[in-house]
Amino acid sequence: MNDFPDPGGEGKSTEAPSRPDEERKKGGRRRSREAALQALFFMDLNPAYSVDTALALFLENFPVPEGSQAYFRHLVQGVWENKKAVDRLIRRSTEHWRLERMSTVDRNILRIGVFELVYCPDIPPRVAINEAIDLGKRFGNEESGAFINGILDRVFAEQAGKKEGGEIKEAKERTDPIGS
């Protein structure tokens, strides 16, 4: 099911063919992100619920396809369990924006994006950022995509700088016997 009309009118895909496993994984993760956004939105507005209770209530009312459930749960639980660290990274990357002042949709898209950038090494950074931008365009307002892009680019640059700086420092320490 896609949002584009079928120009052939016969229900055939107009997209370039891809490997079935790759397409299923891509579509499953996209659905997982969409459902995770909705669940995190619910949890943000109902903070008294535990993660397990919120997930159970969400899944009872909004079933997630079986192929998307594992990554959906991974995202929701991971974002919520690391929320303080994720929010800290978002705060450091925003200028003149308090996290609490952001729309609930944008805030939770950013949380998903930052979680994937920092805690999901199997997700390429550009994929995490682009998927978050797409969520912003679909569920946010007209400025959400650009807003999310700017913040996630800053988070990524900061994280890449830390990683690169750490590797450079370690390499220098290994090759410099004097330790200057």
Residue 111 within any structural domain of the chain: yes
Q: Residue 165: which pLDDT band, with cuts at 50, 70 and 90?
A: low
According to DSSP, residue 73 is labeled H
Residue range of the domain that includes 98:
20-172
Residue 3 within any structural domain of the chain: no
Residue 7 within any structural domain of the chain: no
Residue 12 within any structural domain of the chain: no
Number of domains the chain is built from: 1
Q: What is the mean pLDDT of the chain?
A: 81
Q: Residue 168: which pLDDT band, with cuts at 50, 70 and 90?
A: very low
Q: Dump pLDDT digits (tens) for 17-43.
A: 233 344 345 578 999 999 999 999 999
Residue 178 within any structural domain of the chain: no
Q: For the domain that residue 99 is a member of, what is the CATH number?
A: 1.10.940.10
Q: Residue 3: which pLDDT band, with cuts at 50, 70 and 90?
A: very low
| Residue whose C-alpha is closest to residue 40's, from 10, 75, 68, 70 | 75
- Residues 55-74: what's their mean pLDDT? 93
Residue 129 within any structural domain of the chain: yes
Quote the pTM value: 0.76
According to DSSP, residue 49 is labeled S
Q: Tell me the C-alpha distance between 102 and 114, whole Å.
A: 15
Q: Tell me the C-alpha distance between 155 and 161, whole Å.
A: 10
Residue 80 within any structural domain of the chain: yes
Q: Dump pLDDT digits (tens) for 80-126.
A: 999 999 999 999 999 788 898 999 999 999 999 999 999 999 999 99
Residue 8 within any structural domain of the chain: no
